[in-house]
Each structure stands twice: as structure tokens, then as C-alpha cells.
């Protein structure tokens, strides 16, 4: 079985976030560790992702939330090691305020097809990522697209607990990877 690497966004997914809850439930899941969750620097996050992938015996599956979706877009053309696929959740709009204030180095992500399988899950009322931006990103990246309905930013503030619907989507995606 493949390793699963969790890629939280800005702030690192708190204790009530579905990513953290999934990690606690599945010993195959582990989190990548950049130098800072609150002052993200793209080059540091890319290096942290490469380090974590290098620890895997087989190509892993990545689960990216929010800013980590843009990390994937920047990392994909530079990737040094293969992955099975990436499950992308709630990509933020790179021209939004969060980028200008805290994640400027993540702005202007490449808009090209990802070289691996992917599924993008988006909320219809995400305050950081407009629905149309998410749908367009899925098309550009070659990702299967899932409309999750009105779930906000699909984070702990959304009150999803361990997000059973998301887990079912992830399991369906993982099964398609073989």
C-alpha cells in the first residue's frame, strides 16, 4: 500500500481539521513539515514536499488543502520523484488577499496540466476560492472535479469533523489509482 502524505495549507490544519483527524485514524498518513505554516515560503515548502516524498518506498498519494493546492501547481513541473496522484481540496484564488498578505511567493502558480492523476473537490461558497476558479483550475490541471456543495473553505470552521463525504471521495479516487 502506498504512503499518503498530508499537505495542509496556511496555518497547518488545526486539531479539528479533517486532515488532522484523518491522520490520527490512518497510520499510513503523515504530514509534510515545512519550516513555517504561518509564514510560508514556496521554495521551503517545495523542499519539504520533496523530502517527504523521498521517505516513501513507493510513489505516494498526496492530499492537499488550500494553499497546498497551489504548492502542487508550482511543484509539478519541478518534481523529482513520482507520485501516484493528488487529492486537491479547496484551492484558493491566487490573487486573493491571503496571497498578498501572507503567501506572496505562491502567487502566479503555473496553469498547466498536472503530470499525474488528480481530483479537485470544491465548495460552492468558499470565501478564499471562488467556485468558478476551482472549476477552471480542475479543467486546466486535468483533474476530475467534484462539487461538494456549500461547505465554506472545507476546513475546521466548516464544522465537518472528519468529513466522511470527503473520505469517501478520497477512497474512490485512491481506488481509481490502482
Would you call 52 helix, strand, or coil by DSSP? helix
More confident position, 150 or 80: 150
Which CATH number belongs to the domain containing residue 37 in this structure? Answer: 3.40.50.1820
Q: 48 pLDDT band (50/70/90 cuts)?
A: very high
Give this prediction's pTM.
Answer: 0.96
The domain of 23 spans: 4-176
Its sign, for the CA torsion 44, 46, 50, 52, is positive
Average pLDDT over all residues of the chain = 94
Kindly tell me if the per-residue pLDDT of 98 is higher than 70. Answer: no
Kindly tell me if the per-residue pLDDT of 109 is higher than 80. Answer: yes
Q: 100 pLDDT band (50/70/90 cuts)?
A: low
Mean pLDDT of 142-171: 96
- Cα 64 to Cα 37, 85, 117: the distances in Å are 14, 11, 13
Q: How many domains does the chain have?
A: 1
Query: Greatest CA separation found in the chain?
Result: 40
- Cα 67 to Cα 2, 6, 8: the distances in Å are 24, 12, 8
Mean pLDDT of 129-156: 96
Amino acid at each position: 500500500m502506498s504512503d499518503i502524505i498530508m499537505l495542509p495549507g496556511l496555518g497547518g490544519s488545526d486539531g479539528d481539521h479533517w486532515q488532522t483527524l484523518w491522520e490520527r485514524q490512518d497510520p499510513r498518513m503523515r504530514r509534510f513539515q515545512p519550516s513555517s505554516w504561518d509564514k510560508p515560503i514556496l521554495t521551503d515548502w517545495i523542499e519539504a514536499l520533496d523530502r517527504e516524498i523521498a521517505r516513501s518506498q513507493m510513489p505516494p498519494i498526496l492530499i492537499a488543502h488550500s494553499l497546498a493546492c497551489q504548492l502542487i501547481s508550482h511543484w509539478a513541473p519541478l518534481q523529482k520523484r513520482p507520485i501516484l496522484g493528488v487529492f486537491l481540496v479547496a484551492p484558493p484564488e491566487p490573487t486573493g488577499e491571503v496571497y498578498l498578505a501572507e503567501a506572496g511567493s505562491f502567487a502566479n502558480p503555473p496553469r498547466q496540466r498536472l503530470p499525474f492523476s488528480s481530483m479537485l473537490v470544491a465548495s460552492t461558497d468558499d470565501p478564499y476560492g471562488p467556485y468558478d476558479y476551482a472549476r477552471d483550475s480542475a479543467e486546466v490541471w486535468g483533474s476530475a472535479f467534484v462539487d461538494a456543495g456549500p461547505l465554506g473553505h472545507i476546513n475546521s470552521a466548516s464544522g465537518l469533523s472528519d468529513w466522511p463525504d470527503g473520505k469517501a471521495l478520497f477512497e474512490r479516487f485512491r481506488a481509481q489509482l490502482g
